[in-house]
Structure 1
Amino acid sequence: MRRSKRELILDAAVTLIAADGLEAVSFEALAEAAGLSKSGIIYHFPSRHELMLGIHRHLAEAWEVELERIAGARAAELDQAQRLRAVVISMGRTAELPELLMVLDARNEPEYKEVWAGVDKRWMPEPDSSDAYLVQLIAYGLWAHDHVHHEPLQAADRKRLIAAALEQIPT
C-alpha cells in the first residue's frame, strides 16, 4: 500500500531527528528529505507547532500499535497485568533516539504532553498501585538505559532484566 504524503513527511522528520536532533527539523530540510516542496510540507503542516504535534502523534500512535501487537488486543480489552506485560516487553528494548527526544520535548508543551499521556492512561498503571508502578519504572529504565549510561546493556543482560521485570507484575 502506498504511503500518504503526510506519512512520508512524518517519517522523513523522524529520520532527520535521528540524525541531527529536533533542531534539524525545518521546513526546508524536511522538504529535501521527503522529496517534496516546502509548500507541500506547509500544506500538511501549516506551522512548526502543527508539524511537531504531528510527529508526536505519529510516534505515539506507532508505539500504541506496537503495544497492541505485543498484547494481542487493544488496551480496553485487557486487564492491568496484560497491559503492563506489553509495556515491559515494548520498553525492554532500547529507545530509538527520536522517540526519546520527542518524549522529553513533550514535557514543555501541554498539547504534546497530552498525546503521550493518552497512551500512558490506556496502558500504564497509576502511581498509586505501587507494585505495578514499580514494574513500570523498571521498564522506563530499560528503555532509556543506553542513552543515559556510559555502556549499553548486553543483549543477554537485557533479556534477563526483562524476564525479571515480567515476574514482578502483580496478578
Structure 2
Amino acid sequence: MRPSKRDLILAAAVRVIAADGIEGLSFETLADAAGLSKSGIIYHFPSRHDLLLGVHTHLATLWERELEDIAGAPAAELTPTGRLRAVVTSMGRTADLPELLMILDSRHHPEFREAWAGVDKRWMPEPDSTDAYLVQLIAYGLWAHDHVHHAPLDARARERLIAAALERIPS
C-alpha cells in the first residue's frame, strides 16, 4: 500500500527535525524535503501549529505501534507486567533525536502533550506503584542517555542494563 501524501509529509518533517531541529522546520524546508509544493503542504497542514501537532501525533502513533509489536498485543490485552516489559524494551534503545525533541516540545502546549498522553496512560505504570515506576524511570534514562551523557553506552552495556531493568519489574 502506498503511503498517503500526509504520511509522506510527516516522514519528511521528521527528517527535517533530525537534521535541523524543530526550529528548522518550515513550510519551505518541508516542501523541499517532501518533494511537494508549499501549497501542497499547507493543504494538509494549514498552520505551523497543525503541522507540529501532526508530527507529535505521528511519532506517538509510531511508538505505540512499536510497543504493540514488542508486546505482541495492544495495551488493553496485557498485564501491567507485560506493558512495562514492552516499555523497557522499547525505551532501552537510544532515543531518535526527533522523538526526544518533540517530547521536550510537547511540554509547552496542551494539545502536543495530549498526543503523547494516551500512549503513556495505556502503557506506563502510575507513580504510586513505586517499584514499577522506578523501572520506568530506568527506561527513560536508557532512552535519553546518549543525548545527555558525554559518552554513549556501548551495545553490551546497554543490553546488560536492559536485562537488569527487566529483572526488576514487579510481578
Q: TM-score range by the shorter chain?
A: over 0.9
> How far off its partner does 1:90 sit?
0.1
AA partner of residue 23 (structure 1): E
For residue 112 of structure 1, report the CA deviation from its aligned partner. 0.3
CA RMSD of aligned residues (A): 0.4
Which residue of structure 2 aligns with residue 23 of structure 1? 23
Correspondence for 2:108: 108
Structure 1 spans left out of the alignment, 5+ residues: none
Q: Distance in 2 between matches of 1:73 and 1:47?
A: 35
- 1:3 and 2:3 equivalent? yes
Residue 94 of structure 2 is matched in structure 1 by: 94
User: How does the TM-score come out when normalised to structure 2?
Assistant: 0.99
The structural deviation recorded for 1:48 is 0.3
Q: Deviation of residue 39 (structure 1)?
A: 0.5
* Cα displacement (A) at 1:94: 0.1
**Structure 1 runs, 4 residues or longer, greater than 6 Å off:** none
User: What is the TM-score of this pair, normalised by structure 1?
Assistant: 0.99
Structure 2 gap ranges (5+): none
Give the secondary structure class of the aligned counterpart of 2:100: helix
1:93-132 per-position Cα deviation (integer Å, ceiling 9, x unaligned): 0000000000000000000001111100000000000000
1:31-71 C-alpha deviation (Å, 9 max, x unpaired) = 11101011000000000000000000000000000000000
The Cα of 1:72 is off from its aligned counterpart by: 0.2
Q: Does 1:80 align with 2:69?
A: no
Answering whether residue 52 of structure 2 is matched by residue 52 of structure 1, we say yes
How many Å separate the matches in 1 of 2:51 and 2:20?
Answer: 17
Which residue is equivalent to 1:65? 65
